[in-house]
């Protein structure tokens, strides 16, 4: 609690996101979509496993959408909450691009091939390019 008060936590970008009422509403409600997408992604993996083992009447291209679309929603939510305002241009561009590429994966003959490559490249860019350190509070009279 003391670290939160003096703003010395290592996860300080959330301080920027919740400094206004509108910002805190956006931050909070976007997390709803992030967590819902994470749950839907795990359910989509279960659907994909059922199709691969023959326990489902759903066919392969359509079952892959059950995991790729929630993953795209998850990437969009994380980008909107954490990366959009706290990263440089390269990182701000990579995640929306990844979000657009992930739903294309079910149309390819190799399941999860494009998703794996896109996520590996996204993580590599996130590690390679460090967050931009911007001031947390704007001056009142500026």
CA distance 21 to 140: 17
**Per-chain mean pLDDT for the chain:** 81
Note the pLDDT tens digit of each residue in 70-80: 999 999 999 88
- Within 10 A of 55 (CB to CB), how many other CB atoms are there? 10
> Which of helix, strand or coil describes residue 110?
coil
User: Shortest CA distance to 92 belongs to which of 136, 126, 59?
Assistant: 126
CA distance 68 to 39: 12
Angle of helix 60-78 versus helix 21-53 axis, rounded to 10: 160
Q: Tell me the average pLDDT across 81-94.
A: 84
What's the pTM? 0.78
Residue 132: pLDDT band (50, 70, 90) is low
Note the pLDDT tens digit of each residue in 99-118: 999 999 888 888 788 899 99
């Amino acid at each position: 609690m003391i670290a939160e008060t003096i703003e010395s936590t290592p996860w300080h970008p959330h301080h920027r996101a919740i400094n206004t009422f509108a910002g805190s509403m956006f931050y909070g409600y976007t997390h709803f979509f992030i967590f819902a997408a994470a749950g839907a992604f795990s359910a989509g993996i279960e659907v994909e496993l059922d199709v691969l083992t023959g326990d489902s009447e759903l066919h392969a291209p359509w079952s892959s959408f059950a995991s790729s679309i929630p993953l795209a929603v998850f990437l969009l939510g994380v980008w909107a909450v954490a990366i959009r305002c706290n990263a440089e241009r390269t990182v701000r561009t990579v995640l929306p691009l990844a979000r657009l590429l992930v739903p294309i994966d079910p149309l390819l003959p190799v399941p999860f091939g494009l998703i794996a490559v896109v996520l590996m490249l996204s993580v590599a860019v996130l590690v390679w390019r460090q967050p931009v350190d911007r001031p947390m509070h704007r001056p009142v009279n500026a």
